[in-house]
Structure 1
Amino acid sequence: MESMVPEGLNKQPVDVIASRIAALGFNCVRLTWATFMFTNSTYGQRTVTDSFLGLGLNKTLVEIAAHNPSLLSLTVLDAQKAVVDALGKAGVMVVLDNHVSLPQWCCAENDGNGFFGDIYFDPKVWKRGLRIVAGRYRGNPAVVGVGLRNELRGPHQSQPVWYQNVKRGVRAIHKANPDVLAMVSGMSYGTDLSFLLQKPLHPDNSTSLEKKIVYEAHWYSFTNGKHNDWSNFSPTWVCADLTATFEKMIGAPVAAMNAPLFIGEFGIDFRALNRGDLRFLPCFNKLAAERDLDWAIWALQATYYRRNDIVDMEETFGVLDQTWYQTKDLNFMTKYRLLQDTLQVVVPSTGTTTNNAASQYYIIYHPWTGLCLQASKDQSTVQLSDCKDRSRWSYESEGTPIKLVGTNLCLRSSGGGGGGGGNTPPATLSSNCTDLPSKWSQVPSGFKVQIATTDEAGALQCLDYYANSTNSSSPTPTSASVFTRQCVCLEGKLCYDSNPQSQWFLLISSNIA
């Protein structure tokens, strides 16, 4: 943020980055900006060249000249517009997120950028910045939203002050540009909107502006200091606990406002060194798929021009590697395919039909790998594969068959039992849908993440994938057979010897034709 120039322009041409974003399946970028860029000419009138020379980043400037020479003489404001225009040309929408006031790395508790009234966060200057940015991009079809402020936080947080300034911010954006949405986040780093249940947000005396508000939330493995829980306790228990907290603090308040919800940030360290992150991600995937959420991942960038005084510092949470073209995770698109798809369309209550809608069906989703259950070509067995090839399933209630839509076939337990192994027979598809191996329930009862049958001895056998799941921290998402094995970690907070997430299979409702 120090340079006030979007990252990566020293690595690839801006058009290449924009096209790559679209090719990775993304349709929107949350592009950050600092208030002082637009309210203080000392910042905003700097050219790209002046900005980097002023930071002593001469080598970086040479690299930008090699990849994006046309940007060098532009002001930092016009360079931002060039990036926005490139994204729009690639078919990518833009949400302009007011990240900080003073151009710097975010977000320390006491960095002066955290809450209204902090040293760098004058509400009047902030509102003027929103008005300038919204007006500057009026008529630009690529810009669909303006974020009021990233991760409000710190010791000065106050609900009355939040209401007062958020109302003013929404009105300022709408007056300057009635075509864009206003992205509103709560307090405590974008994790708390619970106060809306007691006092709904009404930006003006009508309801018209309320329809322009999208509420934003952030969620990481470390949110609310819970990072160690993922390593110390059963991930099923932790996910249930934190999902309940999310619904209390975010989901229920936004639903009460009858407004859309946008997960403006989530992410993991792509080095896969952290068990907490690896266990958190399937939990997030579950929530995102079940609620068909819109989301933005932190972050795209592989590197920073300079961060913490380190030139070309790596962003370990970045999707791209240091080429700014290839993904760190070579299976990224496969893992995130389902979450990028629209899973539900609204069917008009008048009974009219839409070409995008079908009768409700289920997708069986494996959030640990990001894969979906698919019938084999001969419809004899099932496997996990890329969700672009997902099968459609029907399921009526607990203890009933899971049927392949359009056939008389149902999912049938392999009867593997025990802990499984390389010779465990795969689950099959069968026309025999009346006996125990063909009757399925979702378990545990309070947080349904495993799909199980009951064997002849009365033991629960769960769908599973990955032969040695108890010793694996991260699966490789490739096409793989699905088995039934003894269910693990169905009860309690402690589950030291097994990770049940290989057994997480979710019935995700969809009506997309």
Structure 2
Amino acid sequence: MIRLILYLCVVSSAFSYNLPLNAGRQGDRMVVVDSNNDRVKLACVNWYGAHMEDMVVNGLDRQPMDFISAKIAELGFNCIRLVFALDTYYKNPIIRSERLSANPELIGMRAMEIFDATVKSLTDHGLIVILNNHISTAGWCCSFDDGEGLWFTEEYPVEMWEDCLTQLAARYVDNPMVAGFDLRNEVRPAHGVAAEWGNGGETDFALACEKTGNMILEVNPGMLIIVEGILSAGNLIGALIKKPELSNPDKLVYSGHIYPTSPIISDLPYDLFKMTMHTMQTFVADAGYNYSAPYWMGEFGTGSDPNNEKWDHIYQFLLETDHDWGYWSIDGYKYPDENEAGYGILNSNYSDVKDPWKMEQLRSIMPILDDHEP
């Protein structure tokens, strides 16, 4: 109980909300709310690396972990989408020391020990953590020919996916700042098999999320259950006919992704872009329907060119619609020996902001912008 009070005090002093989070209604919009029924706008950033071959978050060779967590909070983000692979959990190797050179106290630790330390560092700095199973076999994601498009693979059958997510939810049950679970990243075809929504079979992603979401809620009732659309998180239309039925319906949040490189939609004029985004993804947040639940744009991002009309459309959309979001990503590099990550907020030193113009835009969409009254 003392630990819970401490966490709530951190949250209250930094961002003024009280856990746990739930789905709620504000005017004509479904939104995420706290235990006082006050809206909490998720203004998140992704931190990756734990889903890749070395199975550890990037940047620990450049800065102390607490420095990076403090920098994220200082920039104004209130949450982190923390991605991992099933390999991270099941293989759990000792992390190579060169990936930890700025954090010598972590040298000799296994992947999940460092993942635990990352979670603690983030939440100690007042940041909500949303876990995300990004991939099964560790590596960069995503393509249509990597064999990782479904939530199960030959190496990791569905039962292992369910068990990993349930075990991680239980692992952090005493830390209410670990407030959500994004069940699987960018579901798409694998080996010629497409994910479906609502067909009742083994490729029914909505049904898989319903079952696994309820397993998670059994061991961690406070968690939001975040369900992405199919077609690489681009299509939530199936929610019109099948809403994942959770034991606590107020825990459901939908998620979608969009990039300037997203096929077809990114090429549309803004009015058509906005209409298509609503038709394909954000309609789920319209209140008063059988499918209604909050929407979170869990990934979007752009490079260093400030004159990108396709990025401008995404930014304008979030400015006008006031949806929750998670920028991809904080990271200053993809691999340590490569050039800086194109979409990253930080330089490869994990200290300085690479593109101040972009950070200025993101700060402008962090606050609640609309009461969504009709």
Query: 1:99: how far off?
Result: 0.3
Residue 243 (structure 1) aligned with residue 243 (structure 2): no
| 1:419-451 Cα distance to aligned partner (Å, 9 max, x none) | xxxxxxxxxxxxxxxxxxxxxxxxxxxxxxxxx
Q: Which moved more, 1:320-329 or 1:259-268?
A: 320-329
- Structure 1 residue 336, shift from structure 2 partner: 2.1
Match of 1:174 among 202, 217, 221: 217
**Amino acid paired to 1:88:** T
Residue in structure 1 matched with residue 294 of structure 2 by the alignment: 260
Deviation at 1:315, TM superposition (A): 1.1
Q: Secondary structure of 1:245's partner?
A: helix
Gaps of 5+ in 2: 1-51
Q: Per-residue CA shift, 1:121-148, capped at 9, x if unaligned?
A: 5211110111011011111132111110
Same amino acid, percent of matched pairs: 29
Mapped to 1, the partners of 2:171 and 2:99 lie a distance apart of 29
2:334 maps to 304
The reply to whether residue 24 of structure 1 matches residue 62 of structure 2 is no
1:4 equivalent among 52, 55, 72: 55
Query: Over aligned residues, Cα RMSD in angstroms?
Result: 2.1
Name the one with the larger strand percent. 1
Instruction: Report the equivalent of 1:162.
Output: 205
1:47 equivalent in alignment to 2:94: yes
Label 1:218 to 1:70 Cα distance change in 2 as closer, same or farther (>3 A): same
* Kept after mapping to 2: 8 A contact 1:84/1:142: no
Q: CA deviation at 1:71?
A: 0.8
Quick one: which of 196, 209, 215 aligns to 2:248? 209
Counterpart Cα distance in 1 of 2:339 and 2:220 = 36
- Counterpart code for 2:298: G
What is the one-letter code of the residue matched to 1:266? F
Asked if structure 1 preserves the Cα contact closer than 8 Å seen for 2:207 and 2:244, the reply is no
Q: Which residue of 1 aligns with 2:64?
A: 13
Partners of 2:206 and 2:243 within 8 A in 1:
no
Greater relative contact order (CA < 8 Å, ≥ 6 in sequence):
2
* 1:149 corresponding residue in structure 2: 184
Q: Which residue is 2:364 aligned to?
A: 338
Q: Among 113, 127, 139, which residue is 2:174 paired with? A: 139
Establish whether residue 199 from structure 1 lines up as the match of residue 199 from structure 2.
Answer: no
Contact map agreement 1:35 1:98 (CA 8 A) in 2 = yes
The counterpart of 1:72, out of the listed 107, 111, 118, is: 107
Instruction: Point out the more displaced range, 107-116 or 73-82.
Output: 107-116
The amino acid across from 1:258 in the alignment is S
Normalization by structure 1: what TM-score? Answer: 0.58
Indicate the residue corresponding to 2:6 in structure 1: none
Contact 2:135 2:148 in 1 (8 A): yes
Aligned partners of 2:276 and 2:154: how far apart in 1?
32
Q: Are 1:114 and 1:121, in contact at CA under 8 Å, matched by a contact in 2?
A: no
Cα deviation for residue 254 of structure 1 reads 4.1
Q: Take 2:209 and 2:155, find their aligned partners in 1: how far apart are those partners?
A: 17
2-structure distance, mates of 1:253, 1:336 = 23
For the pair shown, the structure with the greater C-alpha radius of gyration is: 1
- TM-score normalised by length of structure 2: 0.78
Of residues 313-322 and 112-121 in structure 1, the stretch that sits farther from structure 2 once superposed is 112-121
User: 1:288 is matched with which residue?
Assistant: 318
8 Å contact kept, 2:303–2:343: yes
Structure 1 unaligned regions, length at least 5: 53-60, 230-236, 347-359, 361-508
Q: 2:172 and 2:338 mapped to 1: Cα distance?
A: 30
Which of the numbers 257, 260, 269 marks the counterpart of 2:303?
Answer: 269
Q: What code does the residue aligned with 1:260 have?
A: P
Kept in 1: contact 2:265–2:276 (CA 8 A): no
Residues paired across the two proteins, number:
312
